[in-house]
Amino acid sequence: MADLSNLLFVFLAGLLTAMATGLGALPFLLVDEVSDRWNVALWGLASGIMLSASTFGLVTEGLSTGRPLGVGVGVLAGAALVVVAHDFIEDSRVNPKQYEEAGYRKLVLVLGILTVHSFPEGVAVGVSFADLGLVGGVDVLGVSVPLLAVFMTVAISVHNVPEGVAVSIPLRALGVPRWKLVWWSVFSSLPQPVGAVLAFYFVRVARDLLPFGFGFAAGAMVYLVLSEFIPEALAAGTGLPGEGRRELLVGLAVGIVVMVPLAFL
């Protein structure tokens, strides 16, 4: 079972990844915009890290805890969640400028849209903490934390930095004050700690479904990379030589290499 202290620990890990989104807004406190070259490279880096962490971390861990069928079904279910989330988001566009004058009902709508967008990232964090407190982890503040959880928390945090940039660009263009960009960037990822806690509780209570949980998180993350992160990078690089493909490939390669040690730990 998952006791309250473990739930709190996972919530704080998810909150850390959400706070990392605010880092993407910090450059706008000094400059009006981030160069397209850096934007593409950051999206590539985030994509490489997530693909590597999902494959070498989540899928490998899932296969070691159960049968391939359970992992495969989870991968398909995770991808399906992202497809549904994308459809919902497309039908529920919200003008970022309205954030500043939003009433209670508008904020509830905005939070709902952000939830289906960032929830899978929180799920990936929560599932990776399945063995929290058990023997064989890394000691963090007196708690045994699975090595996979450390890598996934770092991976999602790094991914959230360019996401913070992506959130800040339209808000800045619409005249939102610079000092508020950090807040709105973090706000866009607040569903992640909630998703992390729910996923962690699920896999701790239903241990037999752990392979499905690992597959679900991996499927959601891989599909997010293919359907959102890479297209976002290519869109940002349309004005660069080669349409930014070189920067994207370099970022991808660096991200994958950084996370390759997962395959050997």
- The residue extents of the domains of the chain are 4-264
Average pLDDT over every residue of 34-56? 81
Pick the closest to residue 223 from 40, 58, 17 (CA basis): 58
State residue 15's pLDDT score. 93
Average pLDDT over every residue of 2-22? 88
**What's the pTM?**
0.72
Confidence at 86, pLDDT banded by 50, 70, 90: low
53, 157 contact by CB (below 8 A)? no
Is the pLDDT at 62 greater than 50? The verdict is yes
State residue 76's pLDDT score. 93
Q: Among 35-39, 71-75, 140-144, 165-169, which stretch is predicted with the lowest mean pLDDT?
A: 165-169
The owner of tokens 């991976």 is 155
pLDDT by residue (tens digit) across 111-150?
Answer: 455 555 677 778 888 888 888 877 677 788 777 888 888 8
Confidence at 155, pLDDT banded by 50, 70, 90: confident
Torsion of CA 77, 83, 84, 86, to 10 degrees: 150
Pick the closest to residue 208 from 146, 122, 130, 143 (CA basis): 130
% of residues, the chain, pLDDT over 90 = 7
pLDDT by residue (tens digit) across 187-204?
Answer: 878 888 988 898 888 888
132, 10 contact by CB (below 8 A)? yes
Joined together, the tokens standing for residue 33 give 């915009």
pLDDT by residue (tens digit) across 203-232?
Answer: 887 777 778 888 888 888 888 888 877 888
Could you count the other beta carbons within 10 Å of the beta carbon of residue 216? 31
Is the pLDDT at 109 greater than 60? The verdict is no
Could you count the other beta carbons within 10 Å of the beta carbon of residue 135? 6
Average pLDDT over every residue of 178-182? 82
Average pLDDT over every residue of 60-85? 84
Q: What are phi and psi of 103, to 5 degrees?
A: -85, -170
State residue 111's pLDDT score. 47
